[in-house]
Amino acid sequence: MDHFHYHNGELHAENVPLARIAEQVGTPVYVYSRATLERHAQVFREGLADLPSVHLAFAVKSNPNVAVLKVLKEQGFGADVVSEGEMRRALAAGIPAADIVFSGVGKTRRELAAALEAGIGQFNVESEEEGEELAALAAERGVTAPCALRVNPDVEAGTHAKISTGKAENKFGVPYDRAAEMFDRLARLSGMNLRGLAVHIGSQLQSLAPLEAAFSRMGALMEAIRAEGHHVTHMDLGGGVGVPYREGEQFPSPADYGAMVARVCKGWDVTLMFEPGRVITGNSGMLVTEVIRVKQGVTAPFVVVDAAMNDLARPAMYDAWHDFAAVRPTGDRLTASVVGPICESSDVFAKEREIDSVQTGDLAVFRTAGAYGATMANTYNSRALVPEVLVSGDRFAVVADRIEPAAILAAERVPDWL
């Protein structure tokens, strides 16, 4: 069931017409559906139902809005965080510290200390240097840090190079061939409770084969580490399951993913941990925009909208596709480029694409914008920071305000010596 649907000729999020949100909040605006978030959380969990012991940690980076985190917390999700800021958000949403996993190659001393003090459930350590620093900080505090060693399995994920993380040349994790000896050294440090392994090979994966290859390699590594007498009780399999952005694209379902995991990880006797992001949030959000004007072009017209690459960076950064659709479609079609107002030629959402015909003042949406959308927004060209709205049934609420350029200007100072 799609909670974004046309009713009486206009696009709704659940029972709320997007036009009503646009009228009250203005555009551009991100709109999320609570029912879709809940459904995706449930479908993902159901996909893993055959596994004996599972911990779900939502990848906060995909959508860190605290209201979204609260919805997922109520679905029993913990959090995968990559900064103190994300950790504070997860805690603010009521996610227990014990359900938080901290990933990332560049955790600072301050962040490690803050996470130890908060009592988070697991640190995914990405280097021997980080492990030593963390163990020392924990020992100073008279505590032990629950840790997994993130391993780089040197597997080609088959996704966009900029979001691929599991090849040897990527900065993530420790080299596969050195992981067992590193585990042995780190496990001996006081302050360290090295209890598991972690892997994450990339995002927006369209095929399960690279994940399967990575997980099998992790299984072999786990056996080697156990053979040395270490306990491995946790295996964090990361996130990465992709979602369709355009009609007709085929992606593995959470059930397919769960069946693959059950087959590959059979008999592992660990708590399996997962860090899904996009598969939960991607299709639960849209970016609503208004057409500023339609400008004649040489090869095709330009539909200039009031959203731009600062609001939704994915097309400019990864040549990503987001479907564009009118909120009140007339049935007519038009071949045009959809562009934002920013002074960069990369500020293009759709290049000479057949789209719903739109005119000045019409509302339209970019679909599948719930993951890596608002969270990657910025204020380039002194634009406002885009607001976010959560819909639930007949209700909606602004869950992040539009931050106006004037508020940002007010935070700047001109020194009196200038």
Ligand X SMILES: Cc1ncc(COP(=O)(O)O)c(C=O)c1O
* Residue ranges in contact with ligand LYS by CB under 6 A: 61, 163, 203-204, 314, 318, 372
Residues 330-349 that bind ligand X (CB under 6 A): none
The site partner of 3 among ligand LYS, ligand X, none (C-beta below 5 to 8 Å per kind) is none
The total number of residues written for the chain in this structure: 418
Among 39, 195, 234, 278, binds ligand X (CB under 6 A): 278
What contacts 11, CB < 8 A, 6 or more positions away?
Answer: 4, 5, 17, 18, 325, 326, 327, 328, 365
Q: Which residue is nearest to ligand LYS (CB)?
A: 372
Cβ proximity to ligand LYS: between 34 and 61 the closer is: 61
Cβ proximity to ligand X: between 77 and 396 the closer is: 77
Q: 52 to each of 142, 253, 261, 405, 410, how far by Cα in Å?
A: 33, 20, 12, 51, 54
Cβ proximity to ligand LYS: between 219 and 285 the closer is: 285
Q: How far apart are CA 145 and CA 161, in angstroms?
A: 33
Q: What share of the chain is helix, strand, coil (3-state, %, to 5)?
A: 35, 25, 40
Query: Binding of ligand X at residue 153 (CB under 6 A)?
Result: no
Closest CA to 95 of 117, 121, 114, 113: 121
Cβ proximity to ligand LYS: between 33 and 203 the closer is: 203
Judged by CB under 6 A, the stretch of 10-18, 70-78, 234-242, 337-345 that binds ligand X is 234-242
Query: Binding of ligand X at residue 73 (CB under 6 A)?
Result: no
Query: Binding of ligand X at residue 276 (CB under 6 A)?
Result: yes
Number of residues forming the site for ligand X (CB under 6 A): 18
Q: Is 372 annotated as a binding residue?
A: yes
Q: Is 318 annotated as a binding residue?
A: yes
Contact (Cβ atoms closer than 8 angstroms) between residue 51 and residue 385: no
Q: How far apart are CA 31 and CA 13, in angstroms?
A: 8
**Catalytic residue IDs:** 343
Query: Binding of ligand X at residue 130 (CB under 6 A)?
Result: no
Which residue is listed with tokens 């036009």? Answer: 19
Closest CA to 346 of 293, 310, 295, 296: 310
Which residue is listed with tokens 């440090």? Answer: 189
Contact (Cβ atoms closer than 8 angstroms) between residue 383 and residue 405: yes
Q: In the bound complex, what is the minimum distance in angstroms from residue 372's beta carbon to ligand LYS?
A: 3
Query: Using CB under 6 A as the criterion, which residues of the chain lie in contact with ligand X when the complex forms?
Result: 59, 62, 80, 103, 165, 200, 203-204, 238-241, 275-279, 371
Which residues are annotated as part of the binding site?
240, 275-278, 314, 318, 344, 372
Binding site as annotated, residues for pyridoxal 5'-phosphate: 240, 275-278, 372
